A and B are shown apart, each in its own frame.
Chain A
Amino acid sequence: MRLILSDIDLKYDALQLKDTNFIDLSSLQIKNCMGCFGCWTKTPGKCVIRDDAVKVYPLIAACEQLVYITHVVYGGYDVIMKRMLERTIPIQQAFLRVLDGETHHVQRKVALKDALIIAYGADGSQERAVFEKLIARNAKNMNFKQYRIRFCEEAALEETLRKELDAWNNRS
């Protein structure tokens, strides 16, 4: 299954993609993670906040191809995407494992992923470099088998998404 998470509404229907879930996060009601550890120590695998995020994180866990479309701020995800990603904690366990010599959380039933991150609004090479470091770290915590990052302007998002998905389809 392929999942596209976007922090902006796109003319997605025009892309006519099959077997793809497209979620416009800006249209959902998602609260901030409270850091309560409930999803680890009270109701393992299930967030105690029952808002729209609970419809999204199981899809993130299950998908094998994952696309993030996100605005960049200070070299990281902007608020809409970041808020959702913080709510994916239920797909991990509290327990730690060693990965590439570092401690990371054990993943629950999370598929290995090919990930594509389309990042718009990054202001210059320094901000892009920080964002690249962030995604390299995320790859370890989000079960990315491989990933690629494409920077573009907001006006070019749909074109960039179309090109990248075409390239993905041609490879697979």
Chain B
Amino acid sequence: MEQQILILNGSPRAPISNSKAYAEQFMENCGSMAVYDTITAQNHEALYAKMEQFSDVLLVFPLYVDSLPTPVLSFLKEWEAHLPNKRPIISVMINCGFLEYAQNDVAIEMVKLFCKRNGFPFGSSLQIGSGEAILNTPFRFLVNKEIKKLAKAIINKQYRSQKVTMPLPTSLFVKASTKYWIAYGEKNGVSEAAMRTMDIEET
């Protein structure tokens, strides 16, 4: 089967990221049609060359300060200086820790602007809310279902905009999230009270 899709993980902590878990789920639905790689500070040029072999690129990354994480931003900026003759179709799978997937809207619009400016067709997008947590909950099937649809859409070149989050009331999500972070701190020997400090180191 032809390799069609290059998945690029732009998470700053790519090897242990939720983005990697989402990318792996995507690959389970693509078989040998997709190839996975990560964006690092050192491999931009190699990735630009590699992308020439693919009709589709799927950028997978987390929301950082309401927009693209710096590694993705740097990668896109530098790509402008290495534009290929044949432009792949760019799709995005983005996750944020907030319940509301719409908090990812601006990041999607930024990628669309990059595409428009540089002549890349924009393909599909999947916005994941509660992305830090959903894979470890019974709602995992919801995101898996959307990732399956995303894979199908890209393979069939029937691009679409998708969204998913945990179907919880906001207050319940906040409670569950609090429990998650307390457990996270405890693993490091840090108490809830310490995590809740209002103090910030001084200059």
A residues whose Cβ falls under 8 Å from a Cβ of B:
32-37, 40-42, 44-46, 54-55, 57-59, 61, 73-79, 82-83, 85-86, 88, 90-91, 93-98, 101-104, 106, 108-110, 123, 126-127, 130, 133-134, 137-138, 141
Cβ of A109 and Cβ of B64 under 8 Å apart?
Answer: no
Cβ of A41 and Cβ of B197 under 8 Å apart?
Answer: no
- Which one of A41, A45, A73, A137 lies within 8 Å of B181 (CB-CB)? A41
Cβ of A95 and Cβ of B98 under 8 Å apart?
Answer: no
B142 within 8 A of A: no
Contacts of A134 in B (CB 8 A): 66-67, 106
Contacts of B74 in A (CB 8 A): 79
B23-54 Cβ-contact flags toward A at 8 Å (1 or 0): 00000000000000000010000000000000
Counting residue pairs across A and B whose Cβ atoms lie within 8 Å, the total is 157
Contacts of A44 in B (CB 8 A): 190, 194-197
The 10 closest A-B pairs by CB, nearest first: A35-B13, A94-B181, A137-B66, A35-B12, A74-B110, A46-B201, A74-B113, A109-B198, A76-B67, A103-B98
Q: Which residue of A lies closest to B171 (CB)?
A: A98
> Which of B82-90, B120-128, B147-155, B172-180 sits within the interface?
B172-180
CB distance from B80 to the nearest CB of A (A): 10
Q: Is the interface of A mostly helix, strand, loop or mixed?
A: mixed
Contacts of A86 in B (CB 8 A): 64-65, 69-70
Q: Indicate whether A58 sits within 8 Å of B174 (C-beta atoms), given known contacts A42-B188, A79-B73, A109-B198.
A: no
Q: A90–B200 Cα gap in the complex (Å)?
A: 7
